[in-house]
Chains A and B, each alone.
Chain A
Amino acid sequence: MMRTRISPHHPREFGSRDHFPGSGSVLECAESSLDRKCADLIPIYNAVMKPDPSLQYGFLTDATLCIGCKACEVACKQWNQLPADSASAMVGLSGFSYDNTIDLGATTWRHVAFIEQDSPAGVAWLMLSDVCKHCVHAGCLDACPTGAIVRTEFDTVVIQDNICNGCGYCVPACPFGVPQLDRSDGGSHKCTLCYDRLLGGMTPACAKSCPTDSIRFGLVAELREDGRQRVDRLRSEGVDAHFYGDEHLGGTGGIGGLNAMFVLNGSPSMFGLPARPSLPGHNIKPAAFGALLTAAGFTLLAMISMRRTR
C-alpha cells in the first residue's frame, strides 16, 4: 500500500517503516533495498535498529491528521490480543457519533474519539486517537504498591501483569483515566507502548498501522519539537490548535510533561482530556502534614484530659 505523507514538515516518515529514530543512520542509505529484502535482513536489521534504551520514546498523535479509521484500535487489539469491550460488543455503536469503544479501558488501549459539533459555520468533525500518556512523572507508577508498574528502558510506563495483584489504586491515581481493572482477570491494564515490539526493534502497532501518520512513534524530544512546529503552522493558518503534553498543557502540576503528546484542534476538555492535570502524589505532603498536626493535637489533648485523673 502506498502511503501519502500528509504532514509536509516531517523530516522523516516515522511509523511507515520499522525505523527507530535515534538508532543511527545505517538504514537511511538502504531504505529501498530493505523493503525488498526485508525477510533476509530482519536479524541484522534488529541488531542495528533496536531502539537505544538510553533514549526516551513516545507518541505524537495529531488530531488534525486523524481520519477516524480506527486502524490503531484494531492493530492494538490484535497485537495485544485484547477482546472486544463487553459494554459495546453487543450494541456495536455507542450513540456517540462513530465511537463504539467510548473510553480507554482495560481492553481498549487506543481509543478514537469522534466529536461532532454543530455551529453556524457547519458541523465540526473532529477525531483523535487517545492513548496512555506515559507521563514523565506518572501517577499510576507512584501509586502502585507492588512495584508492578515500572518505567522501562525506553522511558515508557508499563504494568507487569505477572506482578499486579489488582489493588486498583493506579486506576483513580491516573489524572487521565487510563488504567482500568479487568473484571475477567482482576488485573489492571493499559497501553504498554508495545514494549514487546520495542524489544524486537519494531514500531508500536498503532503507529505502524496509522495510514495518515496521525500517530507517530519516535524520540520524545524530536516529536515535541515537531508537534510544536505543527501547532505554530496550524495557528498561522487560523486553526485553533494546541500542543498537549508539555508544562503548559497536559503535563502541568508535577507531571513534568507527557511522553505521548497530542496536537489538538480544539480545547482539551472537548476530547475528554484535562487541561491542567496535576500529579496526585503531590497531595501526600499536605494530607500527611495535616494528619500529623491533628495527631499532635490529639496527643496534647490526651496529655491534658488524661492527666486530670492521675
Chain B
Amino acid sequence: MTVPTSTRHEPENESTVRVGYYGVPVIHEPHWKWLVIGYFFFGGISGSAAVIGAYVQLFGGPSIARIGRHAAYVSMIALAPCPLLLILDLGRPSRFLNMLRAFRPSSPMSLGTWGLTAFGLLCTLSAALHLLHDLAGRADGGAAFSKSSYQGPTLLASLNCLAGLFVAGYTGVLLAATAVPLWSKRPGLLGPLFLSSAMTSGAAALTASTHIWPSGDHRAEDALQRFETISTLIEGVLLLSWLSALGPTAKPLTQGLMGYVVRNGVAGVGIALPLTISAISHLLPSRFRRSASLASAALTLTGVFALRYAVVEGGRRSANDPLATIEMTG
C-alpha cells in the first residue's frame, strides 16, 4: 500500500501548516477584487458627497450653498462607474437585472442594490437640476451662474441625504454579514469604519473639486475642511478600535504586505499626514494654504482607497486561514 507521505513528514512547522484538515480553509474565500474595491471607493465618495451636499443645504444656509452644486456633480461623477464595476464583477454579468427581481431584507446585497438604485435616481435628479440651472445661467450671460446660490428642493436634499448615508454605510454591513473572520468578528465597528471613511473621502473629493471649479466661497471651503478633519479623526479612532478589538484576527492587516499598506497607506498617508497638514495649515502663508488643502485631500483619498483595498484583500487572507475560523468558531 502506497501512502503519499511526502507532505506529511516534512519537518517544517507542521502545526501551522496542518491546522484543522491539512490546513485547508474552513470557509470559502470571497472572489471580490479590484472591481469591488473600486466600487467601495467610488460608491463611498458618491454617497457621502451627496450627504455633505444635503448637510450644506439643510444646515448651512444660503451662504455656503455653492458647495451644494459641487456636491451634486461630484456625487454624480463618482456614481457613474459604480453600476459598471458591480455588473462586471458578477459571474454572469448579463443577468445583472436579476438583482431587481426580488426584495430580500435578509440580504445586505439586495437592500444595497435597491438602495443604490434609489440613490442613483435621486443623485441623477439632483445633478440634472443643477445642470439645468447652470445651463440657464450660461444662457443668461452668466448672471445667474455667478451668483449660483441655486438649491434643489429641500425634500430632494433630505431624501438624497438618507439614500447617500445608506450607500456610504451599507458596504460595511454587507462585509460584516459573512463568515469571514476579519469582517464578521467586530461588526459593530466595521459598519461605522466604512461609513466614516466614506464621509472622509466624500469631503476630500469635494475639497479637491473646489480646486478644479473654484467656488469662490472661503467660508464654505473652511467648513468643508473642518468637516474633513473631524471625519478623518473619527475614521482614525474607529480604525484603531477595530484593529485592536479584532485581536489575533487582525493578523492579515498587521503583517506582511497588508500590514505595510495599513500602517503607511491607511494610517500614515490617509490619516496622520492630512491631520498634520490641517493642524499646521494656519501657520502657512495664505498662498500655500490652498495647495496644502489640495494635497491633504489627495492624501486622504489615497488613504481611503488603501483602506478599501486592505479590508477586501485582508478578508480573503482571513478566509483562507483555517486557524482564524477555528479560533472564532471554537
The answer to whether B61 and A309 touch across the interface, beta carbons within 8 angstroms, is: yes
Contact among A182, A276, A289 for B330, CB-based, below 8 A: A276
The answer to whether A310 and B61 touch across the interface, beta carbons within 8 angstroms, is: yes
A276: chain B residues within 8 A (beta carbon): 329-330
Taken together as a complex, chains A and B put the C-alpha atoms of A47 and B48 apart, in Å, by 60
User: Quick one: closest B residue to A288, CB to CB?
Assistant: B173
B85: chain A residues within 8 A (beta carbon): none
A307 within 8 A of B: yes
The answer to whether B27 and A172 touch across the interface, beta carbons within 8 angstroms, is: yes
B78 within 8 A of A: no
Contacting residues of chain B (248-277) with chain A, CB-CB under 8 angstroms: none
A116: chain B residues within 8 A (beta carbon): 3, 8
Q: Which of A171, A178, A292 has the most CB of B within 10 A?
A: A171
Contact among A173, A281, A295 for B169, CB-based, below 8 A: A295
The answer to whether B91 and A187 touch across the interface, beta carbons within 8 angstroms, is: yes
B214 within 8 A of A: no
Q: With contacts A172-B180, A174-B28 known, is A270 near B21, CB below 8 A?
A: yes
User: Quick one: closest A residue to B112, CB to CB?
Assistant: A145
The answer to whether B106 and A93 touch across the interface, beta carbons within 8 angstroms, is: no
Q: How many interface residues does B have (CB within 8 Å)?
A: 86
B330: chain A residues within 8 A (beta carbon): 274-276
Taken together as a complex, chains A and B put the C-alpha atoms of A283 and B234 apart, in Å, by 22
Contacting residues of chain A (9-62) with chain B, CB-CB under 8 angstroms: none
The answer to whether B107 and A305 touch across the interface, beta carbons within 8 angstroms, is: no
B282 within 8 A of A: no
User: Quick one: closest B residue to A293, CB to CB?
Assistant: B192
Taken together as a complex, chains A and B put the C-alpha atoms of A187 and B91 apart, in Å, by 6
B52: chain A residues within 8 A (beta carbon): 302
The answer to whether A283 and B176 touch across the interface, beta carbons within 8 angstroms, is: yes
Q: With contacts A97-B4, A188-B91 known, is A172 near B60, CB below 8 A?
A: no
User: Quick one: closest B residue to A128, CB to CB?
Assistant: B21
A147: chain B residues within 8 A (beta carbon): 101-102, 104
Q: Which 7 A-B pairs have the closest CB atoms?
A: A166-B91, A186-B91, A272-B21, A147-B102, A165-B95, A274-B329, A291-B191
A-side residues, CB < 8 A to B, are 93-97, 99, 102-103, 105, 113, 115-116, 139, 141-148, 163-169, 171-182, 185-188, 269-278, 280-281, 283-284, 286-295, 297-299, 301-303, 305-310
B-side residues, CB < 8 A to A, are 3-4, 6-8, 19-22, 24-32, 51-52, 55-56, 59-61, 63-64, 89-93, 95-96, 98-99, 101-102, 104, 106-110, 112-113, 165, 169-170, 172-174, 176-180, 183-184, 187-192, 194-196, 199, 219-220, 222-223, 226-227, 230-231, 234, 238, 315, 319, 322, 325-326, 329-330
